[in-house]
Amino acid sequence: MVVFVGLLRTIVACMLVICSVGCNAQQMEAADAVDYARLDSGTTVHAVSEGVNPPPYDVHAALGEGECLSYPGAVPNWFELDLGQERTIRAVEIDRRYTAGGPDDFDVSFALEPGQWTHTIEVRGVGASEEQHWFTILEQPVQARYVRMEVFSLHEIQWTTINRFSLYGTSRIPRLVEENSERYEWLSERLEGISRQAAQLATAPDGLADASAEATQMAQLLAGTEEIEQDRWLEIQERFQPLQDAAYEAQAQLSFASIRAADIPVAVGAVGAMTHVFRHIWPEEAADTLRLSCARNERESGQVLVAAVQGDLTDVTVTFDPLTGPAMLEDAVEPGLICYVNTKSAPILTHHIGLWPDGISPVAPFDLPQGQVQPIWLTVAIPKDAPAGEYSTTAHIAADGMPQLSVPVAVTVWDFTLPDKISLPNVFSVSSQLVDAWYRGQKLTWDDDLKGEYYRFWLEHRLNPTSLYGTMQPPVE
């Protein structure tokens, strides 16, 4: 007897959930083609794809509108597909639904006649994956009408959950072609741009020419029509990160070459708040003076930069004068030291995987190795009663064994005042549970005092203290 725990209805196509509950295949009726399919132990799925080779014979699409049965079950479990006619199969792709778990050990078998399996792919130890897709390119194309997937074990999951099971008559799997074409076209253009910049500076960063040539070759391969074997696909996927790193390193070499030409041991400058300042890249837009503009009762930020050009810097300190102009604003300057987090991957195309500027900590003395940049975050907080006009302050940078350097900061205060109440809706999600976890080592809890500090911070920076995942406690009175 089969006990169905859940029944999932979908509008366009259904997620395939295949499990075994020890039932007899002969007791089950065959599923109707296209309109309705039952996927459970012993059931043959009749999913006939339209068209000819090499389009994908995609069960997810072929099932059309219908119902899927979802229930827990023990492995082994299996399902069979009738492709409706003999097909040439060159590649198999499975969307595993979850990256952390799914079918771990399984076989995919092929036959021209029901039950006469002549070719089997044995897959073992898939485990967790960085992405939810698994694919394989067959060494030789297989002619088959029937396909069977049998799952022997699962990884960190209780259901055999599959979003898509696709068969292709070509090794150029559409998803892989699309994803990698976009990445390599983007990377090839980026490397070409860096190469043009290198030519203008009459310098040749290490590895730039080889990286540019390889990225261009990959882009051309993906744009072509030739078959791509399994090893080549793996190489295409694995080589992107090293080539991306080579582009970053070349850009870093070029950025420091431009300031080394000035023959200075230390470079200082300024950029706006919207510039990402990376550890090894001196921004092209860096200026001698930081210029800010804001209203009364407003905060505006920018960044002061320090770069170690010809040697390591030790015990670097950064201090600021009071903000002066039509009046002296003693507490208007709020500096902070930008910290970096080491990223491992990114959901979008980005020029760098590694250290990214992120958090802001209190200013304190720091060391800076040669070839690195340290940004200092500067916020000016203009009081409600400050006279309008032109103000200024200066950042003073000192380090062991070097003369003090300075970066001027010019601030224009406009002649109007922003209200305390936020007029621009925004979402800045916060979780009291995460705050509790962060401060637990310091024996702090999400009490009225800590909430008060957070709410004052949000109010000062014009952020709505809301949550994307639930209701927030009301502000402290």
Give, in order, the Cα–Cα distances in Å from 165 to each of 97, 107, 161.
11, 13, 11
Q: How far apart are CA 266 and CA 259, in angstroms?
A: 9
Domain C-terminal end among 260, 283, 303:
260
The better pLDDT of the pair 208, 24 is held by 208
Query: Do 340 and 373 fall into the same domain?
Result: yes
The better pLDDT of the pair 28, 452 is held by 452
Query: Do 272 and 354 fall into the same domain?
Result: yes
Instruction: Work out the pLDDT band at 74, boundaries 50, 70, 90.
Output: low
Most confidently modeled range among 39-53, 225-239, 248-262: 225-239
**Whole-number pLDDT of residue 417:** 96
**Whole-number pLDDT of residue 302:** 98
Instruction: Work out the pLDDT band at 381, boundaries 50, 70, 90.
Output: very high
Q: How far apart are CA 461 and CA 477, in angstroms?
A: 19
Tell whether omega for the bond before 76 is within 30 degrees of 0, i.e. cis.
yes
Q: Is the pLDDT of residue 423 over 80?
A: no
CB 330 within 8 A of CB 320: no
The answer to the question of residue 1 being in a domain is no
In order, the DSSP letters of 37-81 are ---STTPEEE-PPPS-SSS-EEHHHHT-SEEEEE---BSPEEEEE
Q: Is the pLDDT of residue 13 over 70?
A: no
The answer to the question of residue 303 being in a domain is yes
Q: Is the pLDDT of residue 182 over 60?
A: yes
Q: How far apart are CA 157 and CA 73, in angstroms?
A: 11
The number of helices, as runs of H, and strands, as runs of E, in the chain is: 6, 25
Instruction: Work out the pLDDT band at 9, boundaries 50, 70, 90.
Output: very low
Query: Do 289 and 385 fall into the same domain?
Result: yes
The total number of structural domains in the chain stands at 4
Q: Is the pLDDT of residue 275 over 80?
A: yes
The answer to the question of residue 252 being in a domain is yes
Instruction: Work out the pLDDT band at 313, boundaries 50, 70, 90.
Output: very high
Domain C-terminal end among 233, 260, 287:
260
Query: Do 46 and 114 fall into the same domain?
Result: yes
**Whole-number pLDDT of residue 156:** 84
What SS3 class is residue 284? coil
Query: Do 155 and 248 fall into the same domain?
Result: no
Query: Do 401 and 289 fall into the same domain?
Result: yes
Q: How far apart are CA 92 and CA 148, in angstroms?
A: 12
**Whole-number pLDDT of residue 464:** 75
Query: Do 413 and 425 fall into the same domain?
Result: no
The better pLDDT of the pair 340, 36 is held by 340
Query: Do 404 and 425 fall into the same domain?
Result: no
- Look-up of token digits 């979780």: 431
CATH number at residue 316: 2.60.40.10
What SS3 class is residue 457? helix
CATH number at residue 93: 2.60.120.260
For residue 101, how many other CB atoms are within 10 A of its CB? 20
The answer to the question of residue 313 being in a domain is yes
**Whole-number pLDDT of residue 469:** 66
Among 262-266, 286-290, 367-371, 396-400, which stretch is predicted with the lowest mean pLDDT? 262-266
pLDDT, mean over the chain: 80
Q: Name residues whose C-beta falls within 8 Å of residue 355's C-beta, 6 or more positions apart in sequence.
A: 278, 279, 340, 341, 342, 343
**Whole-number pLDDT of residue 361:** 94
**Whole-number pLDDT of residue 377:** 98
Query: Do 299 and 385 fall into the same domain?
Result: yes
**Whole-number pLDDT of residue 60:** 42
**Whole-number pLDDT of residue 154:** 84
Q: What is the per-residue burial (b if ≥16 Cβ within 10 Å, else e) of 169-199?
A: bbbbbeebbebbbebbbbbbebbeebbebbe
Query: Do 64 and 78 fall into the same domain?
Result: yes
Query: Do 198 and 220 fall into the same domain?
Result: yes
Q: Which two tokens stand for residue 180?
A: 């990698």
Query: Do 301 and 200 fall into the same domain?
Result: no
Domain C-terminal end among 171, 199, 215:
171
Q: How far apart are CA 33 and CA 31, in angstroms?
A: 6
Domain that holds residue 302: 266-417
Spatial CA neighbour of 324 closest among 411, 407, 397: 411
